[in-house]
Amino acid sequence: MSPVAHIPSHRKPRRATSTRALRAGMTGGFLTLAVAGAAVPASAAENKAAPAESTQEMPTVSATLASTAAQTADATQQAASDYELQAQKDQAAAHAKTAAKKAKAEADRKAKEAREAARKAAAKRAAEAKAQAAKASRSAERTTLSTTGVSDATGNAAALISFLKAQLGKAYVLGSSGPSSYDCSGLTQAAFKQVGVSLPRVSQDQSTAGTAVSLDSLQPGDLLYWGSAGSAYHVGVYVGGGKFIGAQNSSTGIVERPLDYDMPTGAVRVL
C-alpha cells in the first residue's frame, strides 16, 4: 500500500459539465426547442460518446396570422373611412342640389317680378300718354270754341241767347218750366219756344231732337247734353265764347259757365 493512500486529496471534485444545447425550429405552427445533453460528471461525460437529448415544444401565435389580422383591421378601418367620406360627399351634393334649386326658384321669381314691373310701367306710360293726348284735344276744342263769340249769333240764335241771359240767377227747381224757376230741360224747352222751336220736355228726348254735331264745331244756339244720346241726364245751351248757360242745380240755380267747368258729352243742332 502506498504511504499516501489514505491521505485525502485536496483537489475539488470536477464540476459536472453541462452538455445541454438549444436548438429551435418551427413545426406545425409551434416553436420547437430541443435541449441536448444533461449535467453529468466529467468522468461520465468522458466515457459517453453522445449526450442524451430532450425536446420541448411551446405554442406561439403564427406570424402570418398576426400579419393577416393586422391587414384585416387596417382594411376595415380604411373601408369605414371611405364610407364616411362618401357619405359626406353625398350629403354635400344633396345640399348643393337643394341650394341650386332654391337659387333657380328665386331667380325665376325675380325675373317674373321684373317682367310684371316692366309691363305695369309700360301700361302706365301708355295711359299717361293717352291722358295727355286727350287733354291736348280738349284744349284744342276749347280754343276753337272760344273763337266763336256771341257777336256771331244772329237771328233766332241771338234771340235764344238773349232769353237765356235774362234768366241768369233764377232758381233751379226740379220739374219747373218757369217763369220764376226752371230745371235744366225746362229752361231749354222755354228758351227754344221763344224762337218757335218745340222741344220734348225731358233731357233724354232733347238729346236726340236735332242733328248731332261734334264739340269742336259748335255754334251759338246748339243744345248741349251730358250722358249719352237718348239717355242724357242734363242739358244746356252753347252761347258762344266757349261758354254755356244752364239750370245746373239747386245750389247754383241758372248760371253761365265755361265749357271746361263741366265738359259736355255731345251736342245737337236744332236751329
Strands (E) located in the chain: 21-27, 30-36, 53-59, 171-172, 181-182, 211-213, 223-226, 234-240, 243-249, 253-258, 266-269
Q: How far apart are the two ends of the chain, measured CA to CA in Å?
A: 201
Q: What is the mean pLDDT of the chain?
A: 80
Q: What pLDDT, in 10s, does the model give residues 3-62?
A: 555 555 555 555 554 445 445 454 544 444 444 444 444 444 444 444 545 555 555 556
Q: State CA 78 to chain mean position distance.
A: 48
Higher pLDDT: 135 or 42? It is 135
The DSSP letter of residue 96 is: H
Q: What pLDDT, in 10s, does the model give residues 57-103?
A: 555 556 777 778 778 888 888 888 888 889 899 889 898 999 998 99
- In-domain check, residue 241: yes
Domain shared by 162 and 265, yes or no: yes
Domain shared by 82 and 53, yes or no: no
Mean pLDDT, range 258-268, rounded to an integer: 95
Closest CA to 261 of 119, 110, 142: 142
Domain shared by 169 and 138, yes or no: no
Domain shared by 137 and 154, yes or no: no
Domain shared by 97 and 123, yes or no: yes
Domain shared by 155 and 231, yes or no: yes
Domain hosting residue 120, numbered range: 76-146
Closest CA to 222 of 234, 240, 203, 205: 240
- Amino acid 147: pLDDT: 45
- In-domain check, residue 9: no
Pairing of strands 223-226, 234-240: antiparallel
Closest CA to 142 of 38, 59, 240: 240
Domain shared by 39 and 99, yes or no: no
Domain shared by 117 and 174, yes or no: no
- In-domain check, residue 109: yes
Percent of the chain residues topping a pLDDT of 70: 70
Domain shared by 129 and 184, yes or no: no
Q: What pLDDT, in 10s, does the model give residues 183-226?
A: 999 999 999 999 999 999 999 999 999 999 999 999 999 999 99
Domain shared by 216 and 252, yes or no: yes
- Boundary of a domain, candidates 99, 121, 146: 146
